[in-house]
Chain A
C-alpha cells in the first residue's frame, strides 16, 4: 500500500545509479523517479477518496434499507393475537429456568462458573430423511460440457471427512500448465504508464522503473503503452466520426446476417444453440443438392395480385399501357423466342444474342423516364453480358440436352395448348399477344419438366440447369419489355434482398411465387422477383449447377461465387477463458475412476465427425483416417465407398444381428435404410411411403420409445430406478443421458467423485465420457448388480453415440432396475466390491461437522 512507496523508489534509484554514467541521463531519470512516486501516491490517494465516497453513498442506502425492518418488527409486535396460543410470550413470563448473570461483569482472570441448562425438551418426532443426492438437472438428450464447467486446471479443495481437514488436491505433475493469462492493467496502471510514457518516452530505463513499480515484465509495459497509444488515437478518431454507425440494415449482405445462423444453428439436430454439438460447427454442405421442390408453372395459380402470372392482366389495363414501341419489340422477341424453342439448337443460341440486342435497346429508350429506372437499366445491361457469352460457349453435351428438351417441348406443346388457352382466354383480349405468350409459357413449363433434376444422375442435372436458362432468358426479354411499362423505383435490390433471392433459388428453384412469399415477404413482390430472376439467370444457375458441369464465365459476383464452405467468422465464441489442453484426448489407459465400460467390448467406439469431402472420399478423408464410416452428415456423395449404407431388412424388424445396423451397434436411420420408415404426426401431413413389413424395431432411441421410469428409495442402497410397467426381454427402457466430457476431464472429476463415493461416469467413446452427476435423467440412479435385470448398450444414433438401457429379461411392473456397471477387476473401488454394492455409501456421511477442527 502507500507505505512501501519509499522502498521501491529507493530500489529504482540504486539500480539507475549503477547502470547510467551520463549526468544528463541521471538527472532526467531523477525526475522520473520522483514523478513516478508522485503519480503513484496520487492514484492511491484518488482510490482512497473514491472508496470513501462509495462507502458513504452505500452507507446511506444501508440506513434506508434498515428502517423498514424496524417498522415491520414493531408492527408485528402490536398486531393482535388471533386468540391462538401464545406460548412464547407466556414462557417469557414463566421460563423453564433462569440463569443469573454477573451484573458487574467478570475480569479476565476471574473464574466463570458453568451453568447447565435444565432440559425439559419438546420432542420433535422423527422425520424420515431421503437418500443423499446432488441436485441435478433433467436432460432428455446429452449435452456437451460448457467450457466454464471444467474442473481441469482448477484448484480442488476437498474436505477430508475423516481427517477433519481441507486438502488441496492438484496433481501438479500431470496438470497442463495453464496458459499464461494476459496481464490485465487497472485504470491506475494505465494512467501511470500513459503519463510517464508521454512525459519521458519509453526508454529502457523508464520501462525498468515501471517494471519495478508495477511488478510487470518490461515487454508487457511496452505492449500496453502501444495499446494505449492506439486507443488514444482511436478515441480521437471516433470522436470526429461519432454517430455514423448503422445497426443491422438491408444494406448489409445476407452473409453477415446468416453468420449467426451458421454459427448457432445445428444442422444435425435442427435446433439453435445445440447443446450437444455446440456452436460454430464447421459448415458442411452436401455435395449433392436436394432436388428443387417445384410444380409445373402452367398449373400454378397466381400467388397475389403482384404475381407475375397476373402480368398480362396488368398489361391490358389502359393506364399502364403507354409505350407502344416496347410492346412491338416485345412481340417481336416473343416470336423469336418461340421460334427458337420450336426450331433447332443453333437457333437457340442465336435467339440469345438477338434478345440481348433488344434489351440494350430498351435500356436506351427508357433513359428519359426517370433516374431510378435509368440506373437500373444500366445495371441490367451489365448483367446481360454473361448470358451472351454463355450461349456462345455452350459445351456440346448441354447442346444435346437442349435438343432433347426442345423436342420434348414440341411434343407436349400440342397437348397442353387447349387447357391453357381456356384459362387465359377468360382474362385476355389481345389475342395475338396471348397466343405468342402461351407458346412461350408452355415451352418453358415443359422444359422444366424435362429438366426436373433427378437424383443420382448428375448428367441430367447439369443438362437441365443449362437448358433452363435459355428458355428463361427468352422469357426474360419479354418481362423486361413489360418492365418498361410498369417499372417502378421500388425494384431496386438491396444486397440482402439479392442474397435472400439467391437462397430462395437454392431452396425453391425458379419459383418466384414461393421465393417472394417465403423469403422476401414485404420486401419484394412476386413480380419483382420474377423480373429479377430473368435478369440474373446465369449467376443463379452457375451457383446451383454441379461443379464438373460448371459454366465458367470467369465472372465473380461477390457473395455468391462459390458453393464451398465460406470462411467462418466466429462471432459467437464463448465468453471466458479458453484453455488449450496440451493433452491428447486419446485416453492413455483407463484409471480407476472408470466404473462403467461400455458395451462389454474393450475397444471403445470412435467419435464421428462429419467430413467435408467433395464427391468421393479419398485417403485424406478424416472419416477414413479416424476409422469411422461416412454418414449422412458428411459432405461426400451418397455413393462414397466409406458410407454406411444402412440395412435392407424386410421382415426381421431389425432386432437381431442379421440386420447390419443392429450388428454394427447402430440404430436404423429412415434416411439411410431402405425399409425402415417412420410415420409421423397424425397423418395430416401425409404419410411417408411404407416399405417392408411392420415398423422397424431398431430406432427406439431415435424415436424415444421409452418406458416410464420411477425414482424411489432403492431396496439396496440410496436411490433406485424403478419400472412403471412390465416389459419383455430386450425391450428398450430409456436413455442414460448426461454431460459429455473429455476423458481428461473425466479423470479429474473421477477423483473428486471417488472421494464422495459417488460417480455417474459412463464411458461413451474414444473422445467422450458421460457424466450424469449434475445433469442426467432418472436412469442414473439405477444401481449396480452382478446379476442385473438390465444392460446398457452404446448405440450409434444419427451420428451420435448414446447409451440405451435395455431389459435383460422380462421385468415386472414396479421392479427395481439394476445393471452391471462392468467394473474391471482392478477398476472397482473397494466399496463397489461388496455383493450388490451400491455406488453410494451412506455410512461415509458421518458427523462431519464435529471434525471441522483446526488442522493443526
Chain B
C-alpha cells in the first residue's frame, strides 16, 4: 500500500510478447450453462498428470487430455442439492495414495470424493459460510486448507475428515478469505489473502502435534480438539483492494488484486518477533482488462510460467524464469469473450486450460516447432 519511492521501485514487465512459445486452440467444450469457477490438473500422481477436474454449478467433472486436442470425460458428479454452487476444487490423496477430489462452494461444505470408487468419501462440515478456495499440501496430500467467507482458514485432514486447526480471531482476516496456498518447502507455513486487502502468512509449527494426531484419530471427528490459531506470523498490506489469488514462488509470493497486474513480492519477516516485518514488491506482471474479482492464475508444476485469464476471455502467459518479466504470449480467440475465472497449466506447461463464466472450457496446446 505504501507509495513507491526512489530505490524501492519494482520492475514492470513489458506487454510485448516474446513468443518464445506459442499456443493454439485445440478444443473447446461446453459444460452446461452454469459458470465454471475452477479447473485444475492432477499434480499429485504421475499416472494422472493429464487428468483435470472442473467445478461449477452443482457439478464436478473429471476429464482426460488426450493427444490431438481430444478430451475425454471420465467422471461427473452432481450435488443433489441444486442450490450448491462449487467455487473451488483441488486434488488430494488418501493415505494409501488413492486419488481424491475435494470441492467446496456456496454451501460451505467440502465434498471429498474418492474418484477410484466414484463415491463420496467425506463431507466436511464446519465452515460458517461459502468456501472460496481449497489447496492441498503437496508433500502431505491428506492435508487441505480452505479459505472461507466466514473469515477463517481451516486445516483439514481429508482422510479422517477432521478439522485440525482454525486460523481466525484476533489477528485473522476481517472479511472473506479468498485464496490460500501452502509454502512449497516449509510444511508448517501457508499464506492467505482476502477481501480485507491483506495477505497473511501463518505458521502451524506449534500446533503440529494436532496435525499428527489427526491421522490416528479414530473417534468421532467432532470430538477432535480443534484449535484456534489467532495470530499470523506476518500481515502484508501491499494491495488496496480485494486480493483474490496468492501463490508461493520460492520464498516470494505472487499475488493479485483487481488492479490489472500480478505482483511478485518478498515477505521480509523478522523471525524472532512474529507479526512484524516488511514487504518488498519486486516485479509486476501487467494483465490488461483484469479488474474484477475472483479471477485466479495458475502455474505449471515447475513454476516456469504463470497463466491468467481476463474478463475479455484472453489469457496472458508470463515467464517466471526471467527478470525483468517477459510475456511469453497472449492467447486470444475471437470467440472467447467470456470472463476466464481460472486457468490450469499441465505439469510441463504444454497445455493451458481456461474455464469461463459461460460454462466453456478452452484447451490450448503448445505448438512444437
Contact = CB atoms under 8 A, between A and B. Distances in A.
A40 B6 contact: yes
B291 to A, nearest CB: 8
Contacts of B99: 88
A85 interface: yes
A253 interface: no
B47, B184, B360 — most chain A CB neighbours (10 Å): B47
A101 B111 contact: no
Contacts of A76: 44-47, 93, 97
A64 B120 CA distance: 36
Given A66-B303, A186-B6, A121 B76 contact: yes
B10 A51 contact: yes
A457 interface: no
B266 A54 contact: yes
Interface string A819-856: 00000000000000000000000000101111011110
A51 B230 contact: no
B80 A125 contact: yes
Contacts of B168: 135, 137
A48 B123 CA distance: 49
A68 B140 CA distance: 12
B97 A79 contact: yes
A853 B130 CA distance: 18
Nearest to A123: B80
Contact of A44 (B9, B32, B116): B9
Contacts of A185: 5
A189 B3 CA distance: 13
Given A105-B367, A132-B150, A188-B8, A117 B72 contact: no
Given A77-B47, A98-B70, A847-B106, A130 B125 contact: yes
A103 B78 CA distance: 31
Nearest to B74: A91
Contact of B78 (A69, A89, A119): A119
B25 A112 contact: yes
B150 A135 contact: yes
A101 B120 contact: no
Interface stretch (A55-63, A591-599, A642-650): A55-63
A214 interface: yes
B184 A65 contact: yes
A47, A73, A82, A774 — most chain B CB neighbours (10 Å): A73
Contacts of A46: 7
Interface string A81-125: 010111111011001111111111110110111111111111111
Interface string B64-79: 1011111111111111
B250 A65 contact: yes
Given A76-B93, A105-B367, A58 B249 contact: yes
B129 A58 contact: no
Contact of A70 (B6, B184, B266, B301): B301
B323 A51 contact: yes
Interface in B30-88: 30-32, 35, 37, 43-49, 51, 59, 61-62, 64, 66-81, 85, 87
A127 interface: yes
Given A62-B303, A73-B44, A852 B129 contact: no
A134 B148 CA distance: 10
A187 interface: yes
A328 interface: no
B177 to A, nearest CB: 10
Contact of A854 (B70, B169, B311, B347): B311
B223 interface: no
A73 B62 CA distance: 19
Contact of B115 (A58, A74, A87, A113): A87
Contacts of B70: 98-101
B20 to A, nearest CB: 17
A125 B79 CA distance: 6
Interface in A736-778: 774-775
Contacts of A97: 72-73
B339 A854 contact: yes
B139 A58 contact: no
Contacts of A96: 72-76
Nearest to A855: B292
B45 A44 contact: no
Nearest to A101: B69
B2 interface: yes
A133 interface: yes
B359 to A, nearest CB: 10
Given A40-B6, A44-B9, A134-B129, A117 B96 contact: no
Given A76-B46, A105-B367, A166-B293, A214 B5 contact: yes
Interface string B137-175: 011000000001011100000000000001011101010
A306 B84 CA distance: 78
Given A47-B9, A72-B139, A849-B106, A124 B73 contact: no
Interface string B293-333: 11000000111000000010000000011010000000011
Nearest to B64: A92
A184 interface: yes
A303 to B, nearest CB: 42
Contact of B74 (A56, A88, A105, A131): A88
B283 A95 contact: no
B241 interface: yes
Interface in A151-204: 151, 155, 157, 159, 166, 184-189, 191-192
B138 A72 contact: yes
Contact of B170 (A118, A137, A186, A213): A137
A297 B170 CA distance: 52
Given A122-B118, A124-B79, A111 B335 contact: yes
Contacts of B258: 166
B98 A157 contact: no
A103 B68 contact: yes
Contact of B107 (A55, A129, A850): A129
B292 A82 contact: no
Interface in B348-369: 360, 363, 365, 367
B184 A134 contact: no
A122 B68 CA distance: 28
A54 B76 contact: no
B349 to A, nearest CB: 12
A315 to B, nearest CB: 54
B5 A188 contact: yes
Contacts of B93: 76
B367 to A, nearest CB: 7
Given A97-B72, A124-B120, A137-B230, A849 B35 contact: yes
Contacts of B116: 84-89
Contact of B120 (A87, A125, A128, A213): A125
B270 to A, nearest CB: 12
Contacts of B76: 96, 117, 119-122
B24 interface: yes
B366 to A, nearest CB: 11
Nearest to B148: A135
Interface in A544-586: 575
7 contacts: A56-B323, A61-B250, A61-B251, A68-B185, A96-B76, A127-B107, A155-B240
Given A43-B7, A62-B303, A112-B25, 19 more contacts: A46-B7, A62-B320, A87-B118, A96-B76, A100-B27, A102-B25, A102-B27, A103-B67, A119-B32, A120-B76, A122-B78, A124-B120, A127-B107, A155-B240, A166-B242, A192-B6, A849-B35, A849-B85, A855-B292
Which 4 pairs of residues, A with B, have the shortest CB-CB distance? A188-B7, A101-B69, A105-B24, A95-B72
Interface of A: 1, 40, 43-44, 46-48, 51-52, 54-56, 58-59, 61-66, 68-70, 72-74, 76-77, 79, 82, 84-89, 91-92, 95-106, 108-109, 111-135, 137, 146, 149, 151, 155, 157, 159, 166, 184-189, 191-192, 213-214, 575, 774-775, 845, 847-850, 852-855
